[in-house]
Amino acid sequence: MVKSAGIVLLIIGVILGPGYYIYTRFYSGREITELPLQFQRGTEGPPRAVASFDLLPIMGPVTVIVNLTAAHGPALSPPNLPSNRYWARIVLKGRTVLTHSFSVRAVQVEATPAEVFKQALPVMKNIVPGEYKLELIQEGEAEMEITQATVHVRAGVHFLNTTLLAAGIGLLAAGVIIILI
């Protein structure tokens, strides 16, 4: 009976903790646009991709999600898994609204046909009407080849309630402890 209670706490904790976090970051709100990204190398500077989208104040809060599909050759060992670093910048009327740096790292040693990465940029709360431009700039040399890239813009997203997230993680931990005892 006690183990059953631990399993119930574990399930509720997974839903309220990691499940809630993933929902708010990637699935809350509604998708207003999906745009392809094409990385191009200029005459100078690193490869970059650019996408433009229009926003209105009634759409806020808004988040931008970058989806990257990448392929790589075989890695020598898990500590040497290939990774790429990116710098994202959102510009409105020549003024930088948001900057965010992130990296994507392969999770498999074997050469795979494709690995898919999702990166949600920080939520933009105060939306000024206009045409926004996302610039995604590769930092350093790419260790993985990007085979496909898209950007999804989601409006009306929910903010992460850290109290609910902490409660979920607490329930998850309590469930694990009860199961192990």
* Least confidently predicted of 36-50, 132-146, 162-176: 36-50
List all residues 6 or more positions away from 83 whose beta carbon is below 8 Å from its beta carbon: 103, 104, 105, 106, 143, 144
Q: How far apart are CA 120 and CA 90, in angstroms?
A: 13
Read off the tokens for 61.
């809060």
Q: What is the dihedral of CA 35, 38, 39, 43, to 10 degrees?
A: -120
| pLDDT single digits (tens) 7-47 | 888 888 988 888 988 898 888 889 999 999 988 877 777 88
Helix (H, G, I), strand (E, B) or coil at 22: helix
CA distance 116 to 26: 14
Every domain of the chain and the residues it spans: 1-28+159-181, 36-157
Half-sphere exposure of 155 toward its Cβ, with a 13 Å CA cutoff? 12
CATH assignment, 36-157: 2.60.120.260
Q: For the chain, what is the mean pLDDT?
A: 86
pTM: 0.78
